[in-house]
Structure 1
């Protein structure tokens, strides 16, 4: 009997079928664009494997998971997996896996781009020139190699960013709950990092512990004129507190690829601020990263169908005897 694969991401049925070509017979089902909670519940209740939503729109809460009695693996084709109640999934024996590291270089590149845009007022100057101006005096900038950069979270992306920053000559600090062995990078408590860094880059997962990790108190610890870069998840930063810190000129600027609400509302005050560089959650969107994530999804789904334990499991589930041998 073919395994039933339900895809919540914006891949076509043929794209998913092609992942298994020549190896396994599968019955692939896609769901309508979000919001479609009833379709998600109905289709996932009879799924053996689920490809979760890379857009973080279709959610898999406890009430859906408890009906997924056949499901072995939920594979997230992204790094963040907060739209899945992975703790509840563990209770039901469902493995949840992510695509850790697939876009590390893409996000690290985006972060450097955001930093340089802020330090050299790149996008600001481009806009002024297009309006007919010649803002040469206003574009006096800073050299990245002369500054201290603090990285909050030295995981896959944070490590890739640190390599790039060291090449610029920056002093690089990091704060992480796990001590990392990384030559040239200094571990300090987050409070010290916030106080010492000219630029603070956030690269942590979103969970209960990191929600609003960067709040009013954290922002007040940062140097006056410092820059905040967030390319992790929007709710890690208290957006209201960030807006206040920018409006008061305590911060010199911010680079944001993520927001508390996505798409961010048209009347979000951040949209009007000339010292904010932002993009619509595309830090990891490169052709190379997309090719890698498809490989990660294919390989992990194939492992389960081949009777092997999946990789990158984030909720500690081992499938054991449930696997088809």
Structure 2
């Protein structure tokens, strides 16, 4: 069996080559992050395992990849790029990778929280234009951080926030406990949190989860952080809340449409801090990610596909 990393950027290609030197695996690398779905049948000719970072894999395209039996998606958000249920019906298994960047993503969420609370983005933009902008800030010590969804990333964020002197509360769809974290109802979390940070996987149940009604339940002037997926938020409702001041600030690493289009309304609001879906981009997380992908390939090959 053979595997191909179909859309490797320079960073992930280098990591893959480094790790392959210590592993005798039949994995090839296509150094072209600009691959389109239409390129996949040609690239995957005779190849059983596709490693994919960010390229969409429509079911109709996958059906043209005659040898394809496995898709190893580099992350947890495969449903943003493909339909795993439809692929399964065609005999193609989709494998995701969890936990590889928990610390990296949590650090990004906490960094966006601090940048949002202190207005760094707006002041930086203003000063680069020659304006001496001074803004009142939010003191986070003693404030409440509400974590919506509680997996590995949220647990890391809770650890960091507690170290900053914040009270941490959380809501999860299934019951959980965690040291130093009070689990509450979603309504109470939205009403009591000075900062709400989203940590939900995107699926049919969570699409649009933070709805207009739920945003209205949030504390006036609160901060929203999203390092999960853009589609878990009603974007129009968020924009309205930012314009009205009901939301004091949003720190966003993910968006409904990516890359974020030029002139998007989010780029025109002063009370938004933007990051280009880069929360997971650290050397440590990249090593974990590619290492886990190669482990998937090793198991698939060992089991004969």
TM-score (norm 1): 0.84
Verify the 8 A CA contact 1:256 1:279 in the aligned structure 2: yes
Q: 2:170 aligns with which of 167, 174, 194?
A: 174
Matched residue, 2:146: 150
CA–CA separation in structure 2 for the residues paired with 1:9 and 1:189: 41
Give the superposition deviation at 1:269. 1.6
CA–CA separation in structure 2 for the residues paired with 1:43 and 1:118: 43
Verify the 8 A CA contact 1:172 1:185 in the aligned structure 2: yes
What SS does the aligned partner of 1:100 have?
Answer: coil
Per the alignment, do residues 243 and 22 of structure 1 end up closer, same or farther by CA in structure 2, a change over 3 Å counting?
A: closer
Gaps of 5+ in 2: none
Matched residue, 2:294: 298
Verify the 8 A CA contact 1:225 1:252 in the aligned structure 2: yes
Give the superposition deviation at 1:78. 2.0
Give the superposition deviation at 1:227. 1.0
Per the alignment, do residues 27 and 293 of structure 1 end up closer, same or farther by CA in structure 2, a change over 3 Å counting?
A: closer
Verify the 8 A CA contact 1:65 1:88 in the aligned structure 2: no
Matched residue, 2:97: 99
Verify the 8 A CA contact 1:17 1:26 in the aligned structure 2: no
Matched residue, 2:47: 47
Q: 2:61 aligns with which of 60, 64, 75?
A: 64
Per the alignment, do residues 18 and 227 of structure 1 end up closer, same or farther by CA in structure 2, a change over 3 Å counting?
A: closer
Verify the 8 A CA contact 1:32 1:39 in the aligned structure 2: no
* Larger displacement relative to structure 2 (182-191 or 23-32): 23-32
Per the alignment, do residues 25 and 272 of structure 1 end up closer, same or farther by CA in structure 2, a change over 3 Å counting?
A: closer
Q: Report Cα offsets for 1:204-229 as digits up to 9, x if no partner.
A: 11111111111211111111111111
Matched residue, 2:209: 213
Figure out how many residues of one structure are paired with residues of the other and give that number: 302
CA–CA separation in structure 1 for the residues paired with 2:150 and 2:266: 27
Give the superposition deviation at 1:134. 4.3
Give the superposition deviation at 1:181. 2.4
TM-score (norm 2): 0.89
CA–CA separation in structure 2 for the residues paired with 1:157 and 1:33: 26
Per the alignment, do residues 175 and 69 of structure 1 end up closer, same or farther by CA in structure 2, a change over 3 Å counting?
A: farther
